[in-house]
Amino acid sequence: MALPDFKKLEQDKTAVPQWAKFLKDGEFISYSNTYKSKIYFDLFDRYIYPCQQTGDIRYYVYDPIKHGADPEKKYPVLMWLHGASNSLMEEGCIMCCGAEQYASPKYQQAMGGAYLIVPLANEQRLEDGTIIGAWAKEHSAPIKAIYDKVCEEHRENIGKKFVMGASSGGYFTWQLLEDYCGYFDGAIPISSGYIPADDALDMISESGTHLIIAHGKHDEMALFDKCVAPRINKLTSMKNSICFFPEWVYNGDGGISSVFYGLEMGQHCMINWIQHDLMFDNGTPADERLPDGITGWIKQISTK
């Protein structure tokens, strides 16, 4: 898979996406998030998990108690899985995978506190731009082991368990739900080009795991009509599930998101909207079923 080198390229904020021809009067293109990024990296601690099968795995952890949360309470654990090539950004992956804003005082307060785990795949970029080493089945056991390790180290304070990721991380979210059915209390697969077979979806549905399945209808990379539409009846019938399939992926300012680094991916990068808590700047939720955003959904499940 050849993807842009985000460390070397600048975003083109003048690009006019192909999907712009579908915009209606009053709709506009937005090229930037309205939240501040790269300001919470130092709240995460870096670790290495030895693994012969995949190579040692780097991972970051946000510990709410270390940052002032009540040490007598229990907190949900959120694992955020990055998309293809994002691990090459090292700590910048904390932002790209969606985790950074959830370490902010605002989001921590909204959730009632939460542990955050950000594992990094051992990706490499070949000379032709192809990315190898992205999330695959072989990562399933060691990533689950990292999750278990963090939970064991903080066992007196561990509450409900969540996993979420976008693009390649969306695929891997589904993979973990298949391999460890019933382990997670909540999950958010986002912009995934992969959806499990019907029998696996049945098991996940019966497991009690709460889901937000998120995918934009104008996704440029994981095409909605190819990846989601053929399975939409099955997905919408799953228990404890919210299917969030918006016509457009927005930024907080109400503009339709464009992200152009040599190719357009604004509608694929729904993770930016997730990091905005699926809320607009004026306080309007992206979906009436999520009136308090992702943070409110996490808190609701965590207090059941």
pLDDT profile of the chain (304 residues), mean per 10? 61 87 95 95 98 95 98 98 94 96 98 98 88 94 98 98 98 98 98 98 98 98 97 97 98 96 93 97 98 98 93
pLDDT of residue 94: 97
Q: Cα–Cα distance between 198 and 182 in angstroms, integer? A: 16
Question: What is the reported pLDDT for 10?
Answer: 74
Residue 179 tokens read as 């391999």
By three-state DSSP, how is residue 138 classified? helix
User: Would you say 193 and 279 are in contact if contact means Cβ atoms under 8 Å apart?
Assistant: no
CA–CA distance, 230 with 23 (Å, rounded to integer): 25
| Lookup: tokens for 41 | 């990296």
Phi, psi of 113 (to 5 degrees): 95, 150
Query: In sequence order, what are the residues at sequence separation of 6 or more whose Cβ sits closer than 8 angstroms to the Cβ of residue 244?
Result: 212, 213, 214, 215, 278, 286, 287, 290
258 is written with which tokens?
A: 């464009």
| pLDDT for res 4 | 62
Q: What is the pTM of this model?
A: 0.95
Can you name the residues that pair with 264 across neighbouring β-strands? 260
Report the pLDDT value the prediction gives residue 101, as an integer from 0 to 100.
98
